[in-house]
């Protein structure tokens, strides 16, 4: 088979800072090469080097960088001819990767224009391309704007633009990120078809299960270097490099339940065990919750219908669903932030919704939240320490801490000691108290957000997609932390996620939501091993075919 791409000792530096170092690989016709790594691993920079698209200020060196032409020696015009015609490149998140001001048709026709395909032939070719990526009603879609298409269709349109000139190689950079799992499966299928039609693919992803499905050969990148490479099955079943092993172990799934995902030592938390009479009912109960909004057309649109659940002390209830399933609205109603249209929520057996906010306020410390994007949930003017102290100022209830005169120096000292304690409990150095959230990494921010949430010593913690913005290894640490905290504090978790693996790892019981309704409800093993509802079955079928965990 002919070799299409040969890379030897590729290094890329920006302003003298090396982000990719000594990367070598080759790609043969009809082959799929997977590049796996977390954010900052240099996988996208590597891909862009193949197109000479690293921008100004990038110093690219290599002994060989051959993609049919020598990228390092090629003139700008030669490189331009190469892009699109020899190598197609598909970025993640089509909403921003397609020009929002141009119609889908114009966008797909653009590479044709750039490569001098006569104007008369372009419309037919656009239709052909849209059809080939299984976009229904291609004539209509070509006239629409990217914002009018669903995420899945948009991603297909972006792929169509990448395939416009029938390149031998397609680079797909996180092609399924930000898509719902069922749509992800469809996009992967599309790539699979291209592969079997003989096109070579470089698939870049942080998600091992995506790479596993398509790639023949895998490169694992970490901090700019290739730490492991080999045939996909071999790398995933018997990883040699410690990083690869850690990465594989970090993936939450059914079989990882009860195990630690990260190699961090368990958090040390000193806490008074919660005392609760065994006959006491659930801490949180939702009865027939519903929420509808009036749309711009004046019609009422239900987003949540008839959702009921109970949450017992110290247990975890997972709510899983795709975007628009109503899971976040349900969480917001449980928090008493969104008033339900129908039904009610009980906190510790007492009415929690349907009463004025004034009456909720004194009980608010008993239910806390951790949001998906921790950064925006911090007051930008405050240090982490001040944010946590602010949270400590409420909810001294159960602990019975003396609510002395505010501002007395002894109390101040108590409080900063408590802040330090909380930071240590979530695995952060107490020095973080003086930091601003902007200067912290995503994982550190999420830890700080958890510290803030547990500062009021809540009985219920609502976790709204708490790990979905994090890299796998950081996600593993945060999930471990949450597990440690739960066993030490006995807090009940309402855990909302789109990720089945995460849900299966953390939940005792699971609620599957679709289109605002609960379609399935049961213990985690029941729901995920023996799904009854067709939608749940479809969801479960998108899970990796072989359980990666067993291998490692």
Partner 1 sequence: MNVVLIRRILTTIASAALLLWAVATIVFFLQHLVPGDPAMAILGGASANPPEETLQAIRDQYGFEDPLLVQYGAFLTGLVQLDLGESYTMKQPVTAIVSEQILPTLQLTGAALAIAWALAITLTLLTAGRRGWLGRLGAGIEVVFAALPHFWLGVVLLVVFAVVLQWLPVVDDGPLGLVLPALTLGIPLGGFLAQVTRDEFDVALRQPFVLSALSRGARTADVRFRQVLRHAALPGIALSGWGLGSLISGAVVVEVIFSRQGIGQVLVAAVNAQDLPLVIGVTFVVALVYVIANILSDAASVLVDPRLRHTIGATS
Partner 2 sequence: MTTLAPPLPEVEKPAAPPLRTARSSRSPLRHLGVALPGAVVGAVVLAALAPGLLAPQDPLEISLSESFAPPSAEHLFGTDQSGRDVFSRVIHGARQSLLIGLGATAIGLLGAMVLGLAGGLGGRLADGAVTRVIEILYAFPGILLALILIAVYGNSALTQMVAVGLATMPGYARMVRSQVLVVRRSAYVEAARTLGHPPARILLRTLLPNAFRPLTVLITLGVGQAVVWAAALGFLGMGVQPPTAEWGAMLNAGRHYIQQAWWMDFFPGVTIVLFTLSLTVLGRRLQQSTDAGALR
Instruction: Summarize as ranges the residues that interact with partner 2 (CB under 8 A).
Output: 335, 337, 360-365, 367-369, 371, 373, 376-381, 390-391, 394-395, 436, 438-439, 452, 456
Listed in order, strand segments (DSSP E) in 356-399 are: 367-370
- Binding status of residue 162 toward partner 1 by CB under 8 A: yes
- Rule CB under 8 A: choose which of 6, 61, 64, 85 binds partner 1: 85
Shortest Cβ 127–partner 1 spacing (Å): 18
What the block records as the tokens of 375 is: 């950064």
Shortest Cβ 101–partner 1 spacing (Å): 6
**Residue-wise over 455-493: b if at least 16 C-beta within 10 A, else e?**
bbbbbbbbbbbbbebbbbbbbbbbbbbbbbbbebbbbbb
Of 507, 511, 514, whose CA–CA distance to 486 is shortest?
A: 507
Shortest Cβ 99–partner 1 spacing (Å): 4
Tell me which residues in 286-345 interact with partner 1 (CB under 8 A). 296-297
Residue 8 or 418 having the CB closest to partner 2: 418
- Binding status of residue 103 toward partner 1 by CB under 8 A: yes
Give the containing element (helix H, strand E) for 509. strand 509-514
Residue 83 or 217 having the CB closest to partner 1: 83
On the 0-12 / 13-18 / 19+ scale of CB atoms within 10 A, 69 is middle
- Rule CB under 8 A: choose which of 18, 21, 53, 61 binds partner 1: 53
What the block records as the tokens of 164 is: 């416009």
Of 512, 508, 501, 505, whose CA–CA distance to 537 is shortest?
A: 512
Check if the beta carbon of residue 333 is closer than 8 Å to that of residue 304: yes
Shortest Cβ 543–partner 1 spacing (Å): 29
Task: Give the separation between CA 10 and CA 26, rounded to whole angstroms.
Answer: 12
**Residue-wise over 353-372: b if at least 16 C-beta within 10 A, else e?**
beeeeeebeebbbbbbbbbb
- Rule CB under 8 A: choose which of 8, 28, 81, 274 binds partner 1: 81
Residue 402 binds: one of partner 1, partner 2, none (C-beta under 5 to 8 A by kind): none
Residue 378 binds: one of partner 1, partner 2, none (C-beta under 5 to 8 A by kind): partner 2
259 vs 472, 487, 492, 549, CA distance in Å?
A: 16, 13, 19, 11
Shortest Cβ 346–partner 2 spacing (Å): 18
Of 430, 442, 426, whose CA–CA distance to 482 is shortest?
A: 426
What the block records as the tokens of 370 is: 């951790």
On the 0-12 / 13-18 / 19+ scale of CB atoms within 10 A, 158 is buried
Residue 162 or 395 having the CB closest to partner 1: 162
- Binding status of residue 60 toward partner 1 by CB under 8 A: no
Residue 377 binds: one of partner 2, partner 1, none (C-beta under 5 to 8 A by kind): partner 2
Shortest Cβ 146–partner 2 spacing (Å): 17
Residue 97 or 549 having the CB closest to partner 1: 97
Residue 112 or 454 having the CB closest to partner 2: 454
The dihedral built from the CA positions of residue 461, 465, 471 and 473, taken in this order, carries a sign that is: positive
129 vs 12, 13, 107, CA distance in Å?
A: 34, 37, 12
Residue 279 or 297 having the CB closest to partner 1: 297
Neighbouring-strand partners of residue 292: 302
- Rule CB under 8 A: choose which of 46, 97, 325, 383 binds partner 1: 97
Q: How many residues bind partner 1 (CB under 8 A)?
A: 37
Residue 162 or 321 having the CB closest to partner 1: 162
Q: Binding string, 377-406, against partner 1, x = CB under 8 A?
A: ------------------------------
- Binding status of residue 132 toward partner 1 by CB under 8 A: no
Main-chain dihedrals φ then ψ at residue 131, nearest 5 degrees = -65, -40
CB neighbour list of residue 17: distance below 8 Å, 6 or more residues apart: none
Shortest Cβ 449–partner 2 spacing (Å): 9
Shortest Cβ 193–partner 1 spacing (Å): 21
Q: Binding string, 469-508, against partner 1, x = CB under 8 A?
A: ----------------------------------------
Main-chain dihedrals φ then ψ at residue 438, nearest 5 degrees = -60, -25
422 vs 389, 392, 449, CA distance in Å?
A: 10, 10, 11
What is the DSSP track for 179-248? S-HHHHHHHHHHHHHHHHTT-EEEEEES-HHHHHHH-SEEEEEETTEEEEEEEHHHHHHS--SHHHHHHH
Residue 439 binds: one of partner 1, partner 2, none (C-beta under 5 to 8 A by kind): partner 2
Shortest Cβ 314–partner 2 spacing (Å): 21
Residue 53 binds: one of partner 2, partner 1, none (C-beta under 5 to 8 A by kind): partner 1
Stretch touching partner 1 by CB under 8 A, among 161-169, 251-259, 360-368, 389-397: 161-169
Residue 79 or 271 having the CB closest to partner 1: 79
- Binding status of residue 100 toward partner 1 by CB under 8 A: yes
- Rule CB under 8 A: choose which of 8, 115, 364, 418 binds partner 1: 115
CB neighbour list of residue 250: distance below 8 Å, 6 or more residues apart: 261, 262, 472, 473, 475, 476
Task: Give the separation between CA 338 and CA 329, rounded to whole angstroms.
Answer: 8
Where does this chain bind partner 1 (CB under 8 A)? 48, 51, 53, 56-57, 80-85, 88-89, 91, 93, 96-103, 110-111, 114-115, 145, 147-148, 158, 161-162, 164-165, 296-297
């Amino acid at each position: 088979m002919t070799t299409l791409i040969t890379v030897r000792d590729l290094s890329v530096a920006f302003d003298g800072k090396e982000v990719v170092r000594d990367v070598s690989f080759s790609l043969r016709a009809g082959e799929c090469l997977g590049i796996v790594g977390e954010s900052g691993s240099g996988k996208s920079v590597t891909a862009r080097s193949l197109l000479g698209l690293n921008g100004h200020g990038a110093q690219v060196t290599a002994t060989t960088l051959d993609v049919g032409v020598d990228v390092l020696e090629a003139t700008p015009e030669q490189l331009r001819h190469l892009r699109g015609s020899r190598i197609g490149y598909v970025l993640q998140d089509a909403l921003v990767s397609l020009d929002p001001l141009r119609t889908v048709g114009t966008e797909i026709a653009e590479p044709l224009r750039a490569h001098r395909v006569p104007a008369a032939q372009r419309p037919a070719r656009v239709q052909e391309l849209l059809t080939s990526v299984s976009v229904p009603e291609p004539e209509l879609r070509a006239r629409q704007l990217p914002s009018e298409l669903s995420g899945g269709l948009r991603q297909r349109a972006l792929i169509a633009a990448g395939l416009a000139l029938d390149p031998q190689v397609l680079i797909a950079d996180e092609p399924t990120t930000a898509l719902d799992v069922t749509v992800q499966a469809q996009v992967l299928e599309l790539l699979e078809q291209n592969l079997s039609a003989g096109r070579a693919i470089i698939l870049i992803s942080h998600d091992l299960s995506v790479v596993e499905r398509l790639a023949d050969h895998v490169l694992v990148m970490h901090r700019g270097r290739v730490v492991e490479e080999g045939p996909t099955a071999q790398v995933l079943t018997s990883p040699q490099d410690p990083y690869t092993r850690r990465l594989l172990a970090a993936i939450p799934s059914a079989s990882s339940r009860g195990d630690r995902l990260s190699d961090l030592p368990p958090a040390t938390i000193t806490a008074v065990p919660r005392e609760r009479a065994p006959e006491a009912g659930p801490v949180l109960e939702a009865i027939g919750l519903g929420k509808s909004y009036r749309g711009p057309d004046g019609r009422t649109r239900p987003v949540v219908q008839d959702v009921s659940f109970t949450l017992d002390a110290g247990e975890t209830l997972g709510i899983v669903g795709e975007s628009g399933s109503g899971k976040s609205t349900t969480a917001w109603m449980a928090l008493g932030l969104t008033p339900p249209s129908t039904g009610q929520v009980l906190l510790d057996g007492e009415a929690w919704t349907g009463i004025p906010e004034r009456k909720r306020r004194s009980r608010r410390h008993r239910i806390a939240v951790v949001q998906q994007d921790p950064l925006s949930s911090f007051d930008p003017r405050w240090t982490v320490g001040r944010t946590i102290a602010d949270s400590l100022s409420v909810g001294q209830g159960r602990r019975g801490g003396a609510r002395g005169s505010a501002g007395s120096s002894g109390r101040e000292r108590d409080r900063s000691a408590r802040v330090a304690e909380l930071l240590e409990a979530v695995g952060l150095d107490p020095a973080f108290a003086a930091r601003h959230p902007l200067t912290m990494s995503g994982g550190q921010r999420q830890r700080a957000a958890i510290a803030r949430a547990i500062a009021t010593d809540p009985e219920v913690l609502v976790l709204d997609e708490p790990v979905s913005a994090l890299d796998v290894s950081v996600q593993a640490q945060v999930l471990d932390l949450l597990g440690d905290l739960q066993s030490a504090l006995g807090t009940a978790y309402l855990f909302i996620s789109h990720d089945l693996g995460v849900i299966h790892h953390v939940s005792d019981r699971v609620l599957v939501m679709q289109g605002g309704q609960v379609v399935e409800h049961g213990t985690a093993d029941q729901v995920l091993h023996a799904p009854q509802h067709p939608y749940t079955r479809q969801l479960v079928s998108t899970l990796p075919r072989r359980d990666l965990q067993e291998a490692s």
